[in-house]
């Protein structure tokens, strides 16, 4: 059964049906859509309220695992984890944290591809909540407007700071850049290591995952080869 059939038969209105559970899915790498799955009332609670709730819940997790929460090294951990989740590693879930982008006229009349390579990022696998560590390479051809180089990095970081699937992350960056720049001529390549593969499960420490998006003029053998040549160390 392919992924599309699996999802169609087991999901309806966002709920798992017919008794299927995460055990049916196992470690399969599912990618259910472009948008990060979010509840309709995802922002009903303030960030402060979310941190308070997460701290309480994480304290319970630690207690269930048998950790001594009165120990000086551990007693502040629930609050630290809550702050890290909301303010740092999952801050990209909140649209209020989306970077503000200003465009500029392409006064240089530079009409070739611009490549920002080796953008380091840290994300988290949405299946196990363990890190994805990698580099993103972003390229575009101006349609009359250009974007500040640091903004390309910030867009990558914004979408990376969510529970993610690498395919979704690649496409989210590409689609946002297409919208911002007003052009289909965008390419995104991500090369990443997944700790859900290297630190658990199969425990393969050497493998990496590469995903690509080639839009517009980039979706030709000549442009792909040119871009790949620029990415060589």
Catalytic residues: 125-128, 166, 194, 196
How many Å apart are CA 180 and CA 145, to the nearest integer? 9
Measured torsion, CA atoms of residues 230, 169, 78, 66, in degrees rounded to the nearest 10: -100
- Token readout for 93 is 């879930």
Identify the sign of the CA torsion 6, 11, 12, 14: negative
Nearest C-alpha neighbor of 121 from the set 27, 194, 228: 194
Pairing of strands 163-164, 15-16: unpaired
DSSP 176: H
């Amino acid at each position: 059964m392919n992924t599309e059939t699996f999802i169609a038969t087991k999901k309806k209105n966002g709920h798992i049906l017919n008794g299927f559970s995460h055990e049916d899915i196992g470690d399969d790498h599912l990618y259910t859509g472009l948008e990060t799955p979010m509840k309709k009332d995802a922002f009903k609670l303030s960030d402060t309220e979310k941190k308070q709730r997460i701290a309480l819940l994480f304290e319970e997790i630690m207690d269930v695992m048998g950790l001594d929460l009165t120990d000086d090294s551990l007693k502040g951990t629930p609050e630290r984890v809550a702050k890290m989740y909301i303010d740092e590693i999952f801050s990209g879930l909140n649209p209020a944290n989306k970077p503000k982008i200003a465009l500029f006229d392409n006064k240089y009349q530079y009409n070739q591809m611009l490549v920002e390579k080796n953008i380091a990022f840290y994300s988290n696998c949405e299946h196990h909540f363990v890190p994805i560590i990698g580099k993103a390479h972003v390229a575009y051809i101006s349609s009359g407007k250009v974007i500040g180089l640091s903004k390309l990095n910030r867009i990558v970081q914004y979408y990376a700071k969510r529970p993610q699937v690498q395919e979704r992350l690649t496409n989210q960056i590409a689609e946002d850049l297409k919208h911002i720049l007003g052009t289909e001529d965008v390419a995104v390549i991500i090369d990443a290591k997944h700790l859900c593969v290297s630190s658990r499960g199969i425990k393969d420490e050497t493998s990496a995952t590469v995903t690509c998006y080639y839009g517009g003029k980039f979706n030709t053998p000549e442009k792909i080869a040119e871009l790949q040549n620029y990415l060589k160390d």
